[in-house]
Amino acid sequence: MLKKRQIILLILVLGMVFLTYAAIAQEENTGGDIQSSVSSIWDKVKWPIIAAVSMFIFQGILYIISLFKKDRLLKTLLNKYVIFHMKDGRRYQGTMRLDTRGAEIVSEESRQRGQAPSYIFSKDQLQNEIGSYIRYLDTMNDREKQERKWELERLKNPPLSHRMVRKTRNMFIELNAAAKNAISMVWGSIKQAASPLQAQLNRMNTAAQEFGGEVTSLDDQFTEFKKESEQFLQEESYERIIERLVGTRVKIRIAGVEHANGEYMALFKDYNGKHMTFMNVRDKDNNGYRDHWDYDHEYKHDINNFNRRDDRGLRCRMIEDKEGRYFLVFENNTSYTIQVGKVRLFDPGGWERNLEFKWHVEGLSVRRLRLNPVAQHNVGPFERVRTLEHRTPRQFKKIGLDFRSFRDADVIFPRSVCTIIESAEKQQQELFSISALTDAILDRSESEEIAIQDTEGRAIHGMNLVHGYVTNVNEERIDLKSIDSSYSRRWEVESAYTHFDNTLRHKVPMHRRMIPYFANRLVTQNALVEQLRENKLQQETFSQLAYPKLVKRQLRIPLMKLLPSNNGLRLPLKVMAFTSNGANEEFRVLERFEYVHEHHMLYESVGNLRNERLAKMDILWIGAGEIYKGGYRLNIDSEQRIKNFVSQGGVVIVSGQDVKTNSRQRRGAGWIPEPLTGVEYDETDELLPTAQGRRSRVFHTPNMLNTTPDTKEIPLVKLDDMWVDPLGKWNSLAKSTEQDASALLTLPFQKGLYIVTSLKNDTERDVEINNKLMENLLHFSVKWIDNQKWKQRFLPR
C-alpha cells in the first residue's frame, strides 16, 4: 500500500487539477495563454497520476491474494484448540489464528496462570522454530469430533468426486514449471506495455523525494507481484512416491524436535510443500502420541514452597504427615494417565529414584509417593570410606520431576523434521467372501495381523489379513507363493461356478423365462438342486439319470460337490492347546486330527494364557492338570481370559484335573460362570452315557465308543477324578458307574460353550487310549460352532 506521504502528495496533485479546471470554467473569456498553461500542467501530471493509480491497484490485488494465500494444511487449524510444540521442547496451547505474516495463539489458560493471554509467532518462527502442530482427540468438542469422523471416513473411502478433484489438482501442480513460464510471459508483456510510464514515474520519484517521500518504482511493483504469484504455486507439491500413500498407515521418523523424536505409526492424511498431516499418530507399541516433559523446582528447604501446577494440568506438592514421613502428592486434573519417570533431589548432594515410568497417576485422581532419600556420607578423615545416611527433603533445595503421557492425536509436522520411512497395508473394509480373497492386493510392506469382521463388526475367528492376503496361516508359517497359488485355484473355482450358474439361469432366453411352461421347469430344476444337496442317495440317483456312463467315468469328483453348500465355505479353525503342567502328550495326538467336519484344523501349543492370540482362536484345549494339580494353577488374569473367550463364541474343552482329598489349597472356580466341584475318584475305564449324551452322539461320531461294563471289550477311555454339579446348571452327558458324579459335562455361556471332562492324560499310554474320545470331542465342538454360525446367519433375530 502507498505510504502516508505518497497519499498526501497524490491528493494535492488531484486537488490542483480540479481547481485548475474549475477556474477555467468560471472564466470563459480567459485568454489562450492561460489555456495553454493549463494543458501543459495536465501533460506533466497525467502520467504520474496514472502510474500512482496503477500501483494502488497492484497493491490492492496483492492484498487480496494475501488473504487467500494461507497454508492449505494450517488453515484446517483455524479457530481450533492447537498445541504448538517448538523444536526446543517449549509448548504453547490455545485457539489458533492464522495470517500470511504469522500466527497467534489465544490462551485463556495462560491468562489465568498469570502469563500472557496470547502469543504471536512471525512467519520466520512458523518456518524455523515450530516442530509440530498437535490436536489431541480428548480436547475436541462434539462438533469437531463429528467433523473428524467424517474426514476419517472420507480418507479411508474417498468418493469418486474427491478422487477426481485431487487428481486434477495434482495434474496442475505437476505442470508447475509450465505455469511459472506462463506467468513470466504475462508479466513480461504487462511490463513491456507499461514501459512508457517508467520515464514519467522516475520524474514523479524525483518530485516526491523533494517533499521527503518515497515512491516504489513500477519495476519493483511488477517484480513483487511476480514473486508473490510464483510463491503461491510453490506452496503446493505433488510427489508420486508419497501420493499413493495418502489414506494408508505409514511409519514416520521425527528428528530435531525435543521430547518428540522417534518413530511413530500414523494414518497419512495430506501433504504440501511445507507440511505433512497425519491422523491417529501412535508410537511403535500402539500407545498413542508421546508427550514428555520435566522441570526443576527450587523450594529452598521449605517444602511448602513446592506447589506447582504445569500447563498439562498436573499439580505436584510435598507434604509431611504426623509420623514425620514425606510424600509427593500428584493431583491429575486431566482425563488421561500420566506416567512418572525420575524423581531427583539435589543441592546439596543428590538423590534420585528412577520409577521407569511404571508408576502411573490415573486421570482425575490423586496419588501419593513416599520420599525416603538416602545419601552416601564420607567418613573422615578417609576419602574413600562412605556410609549410608538417611535424609529428609527439607535438607535439599531443589527437586526435579520427569513425566510422560500417551494420547490419541492428529499432528501436522513440517517436512524438515518428518520423514516417511515405511508404508503399511492399505485399510480395507470388506466382508469375507471369495471375491474378497481374489481382490486382496499383495502388500509386503508390513507384517501385521488385521482381524476380518462380519457385517456386525465381530471378528471372524481364524482369519487374518497378513501381507495383504486373507489367510488363516500364522505370520511365521506363511508362504506367499503357496497362498498365491491357492488364491488362483479359488478364483478358477469361482469363475467356473459363475459360468455354470449363468448357463443354467441368466442365459436362458427371454421367451423361455416368461412363458409359464418353461418358467415352471426352471423353478423345478432349482428346487431339485436344493433338495439333493444333503441327500447322498438322491445325489447318486440324480447322477444316474442326468449323465451317461461315459461321462460319469470321466468325472473324478461327484457332481454335487461342485454345487454350493448351505454352510458355505468351510473355513479353517484354530485350536490353542494349553499344556504347561503336564507331560505335553496331548498336543502330539491332537495334531493328528488335521481335518474335522471338512474344516482344516490349525493347532498351537502355549505354556500360559497371557497371550493376545487367544481372542483369534476357535477352540481352547486345557490339558490334564492345568486347572488343578497339587494346587490351583490359574490366576485372576487367566480366569478372566477364559471367560471372555467363551463369551465371544469360543469353545473350551477341559481334559481333566488331579484332585487330592487332603489338599487344603484353594480350588478356584473363577474360570467358569457356574460352580463345579472336583472330587477324587479311583482310576477307571468305565462310564455311563446319559440320555442327553446319547442324543448328542458325542460317543458315536466319528468313533463308536462302547464304554459301559456290559458292552465294552477293550478299554476305550481312561478316567480319573470326577466332577459334581451342586446347583444342577450343567448338562451331564456321562456319569460314573459307582457314585453320582459326572465324567463329561457341557455348559453354554453367552455365545460360547464349556466342555469339561475327566480324562486321565498323564502318560503317553493314557492319551493313546483316550484319542478316540478326544477326536469325538473335537467333532462335537466343531459341529456346535457350525450350528451357531448357521443360526446367526439364517435365523431371524
Per-residue HEC secondary structure of 507-573 comes to: CCCHHHHHCHHHHHHHHHHHHHHHHHCCCHHHHHHHHHHHCCHHHHHHCCCCHHHHCCCCCCCCCCE
* pLDDT tens per residue across span 111-125: 877 788 889 998 888
The C-alpha cell at 682 is 479311583
Report the candidate in 396, 389, 297, 295 with the shortest Cα–Cα distance to residue 348: 396
Question: CA dist 50 to 18, 62, 215, 234, 453, Å?
Answer: 16, 18, 14, 33, 71
pLDDT value for 555: 43
Q: What integer is the mean pLDDT of 132-136?
A: 95
Q: Are strands 338-346 and 374-378 parallel, antiparallel or unpaired?
A: unpaired
pLDDT value for 629: 82
pLDDT band at 25; cut points 50, 70, 90: very low
Q: Is 422 helix (H, G, I), strand (E, B) or coil?
A: strand
The C-alpha cell at 468 is 495383504
99-113, 317-331, 420-434, 714-728: least confident range:
420-434
pLDDT value for 444: 41
Q: How far apart are CA 272 and CA 795, in angstroms?
A: 52
Report the candidate in 59, 119, 66, 68 with the shortest Cα–Cα distance to residue 91: 119
Four-point Cα dihedral 244, 246, 248, 252, nearest 10: 100
Q: Is 46 helix (H, G, I), strand (E, B) or coil?
A: helix
- In our burial notation (b when 16+ CB lie closer than 10 A, e otherwise), range 372-406 reads ebebeeeeeeeeeeeeeeebbbeebebbebbbbbb
pLDDT value for 726: 84
Query: Is the pLDDT higher at 686 or at 771?
Result: 771
Q: Above 90 in pLDDT, residue 202?
A: no
Q: How far apart are CA 594 and CA 600, in angstroms?
A: 6
Give the pTM. Answer: 0.48
Query: Is the pLDDT higher at 132 or at 709?
Result: 132
pLDDT band at 675; cut points 50, 70, 90: confident
Query: Is the pLDDT higher at 796 or at 501?
Result: 501
pLDDT value for 530: 65
pLDDT value for 85: 93
Q: Above 60 in pLDDT, residue 430?
A: no
pLDDT value for 442: 42
Q: Above 50 in pLDDT, residue 752?
A: yes
pLDDT value for 620: 94
Report the candidate in 397, 410, 478 with the shortest Cα–Cα distance to residue 442: 478
pLDDT band at 208; cut points 50, 70, 90: very low
Q: Are strands 722-724 and 677-679 parallel, antiparallel or unpaired?
A: antiparallel
Amino acid at position 327, single letter:
F
Four-point Cα dihedral 330, 334, 337, 342, nearest 10: -40
Q: Above 80 in pLDDT, residue 467?
A: no
* pLDDT tens per residue across span 588-619: 899 889 889 888 899 998 888 877 788 889 99
pLDDT band at 646; cut points 50, 70, 90: very high
Alpha carbon 780 to its chain centroid, in Å, reads 37
pLDDT value for 433: 47
What residues does 629 pair with on adjacent strands? 658
Q: Above 50 in pLDDT, residue 713?
A: no
pLDDT value for 343: 94
pLDDT value for 745: 94
Q: Above 90 in pLDDT, residue 650?
A: yes
Q: How far apart are CA 763 and CA 720, in angstroms?
A: 13
Q: How far apart are CA 764 and CA 586, in angstroms?
A: 8
pLDDT band at 375; cut points 50, 70, 90: confident
pLDDT value for 731: 92
The C-alpha cell at 607 is 505354556
Question: CA dist 37 to 19, 33, 47, 157, Å?
Answer: 14, 6, 17, 75
pLDDT value for 357: 92
Cell 442365459: give the residue.
Answer: 507
DSSP 632: B
pLDDT value for 755: 95
Q: Above 50 in pLDDT, residue 284?
A: yes
Burial class (CB in 10 A: 0-12, 13-18, 19+), 330: buried
- In our burial notation (b when 16+ CB lie closer than 10 A, e otherwise), range 147-157 reads eeeeebeebee
* pLDDT tens per residue across span 361-374: 998 899 999 998 88
Q: What integer is the mean pLDDT of 555-561?
A: 41
pLDDT value for 511: 64
pLDDT value for 162: 84
The C-alpha cell at 738 is 459307582
N-to-C CA span, the chain: 72
What residues does 628 pair with on adjacent strands? 632
pLDDT value for 414: 94
High-pLDDT (> 90) share of the chain, %? 23
Q: Above 70 in pLDDT, residue 689?
A: yes
Burial class (CB in 10 A: 0-12, 13-18, 19+), 661: exposed
pLDDT value for 557: 41
60-64, 724-728, 793-797: least confident range:
793-797
Q: How far apart are CA 248 and CA 205, in angstroms?
A: 58
168-172, 215-219, 667-671, 685-689: least confident range:
215-219
* pLDDT tens per residue across span 540-553: 555 555 544 444 44
Q: What integer is the mean pLDDT of 141-159?
A: 88
Q: How far apart are CA 409 and CA 32, in angstroms?
A: 81
Q: Above 50 in pLDDT, residue 282?
A: yes
Q: What integer is the mean pLDDT of 228-237?
A: 62
pLDDT band at 110; cut points 50, 70, 90: confident
Q: Where are the beta strands (DSSP E) in 324-385?
A: 326-332, 338-346, 350-361, 365-371, 374-378
pLDDT value for 562: 40
pLDDT value for 582: 58
Q: Is 18 helix (H, G, I), strand (E, B) or coil?
A: helix
Q: In what order do the strands lie in the sheet with 418-426?
A: 118-122, 102-106, 91-99, 81-86, 130-136, 409-414, 275-283, 262-271, 248-254, 418-426
Mean pLDDT of the chain: 76
pLDDT value for 551: 43
High-pLDDT (> 70) share of the chain, %? 62
pLDDT value for 519: 66
Contact indicator for 336, 325 with CB cutoff of 8 Å = no
* pLDDT tens per residue across span 295-349: 999 998 899 999 998 888 899 999 999 888 999 999 998 889 999 999 999 887 7
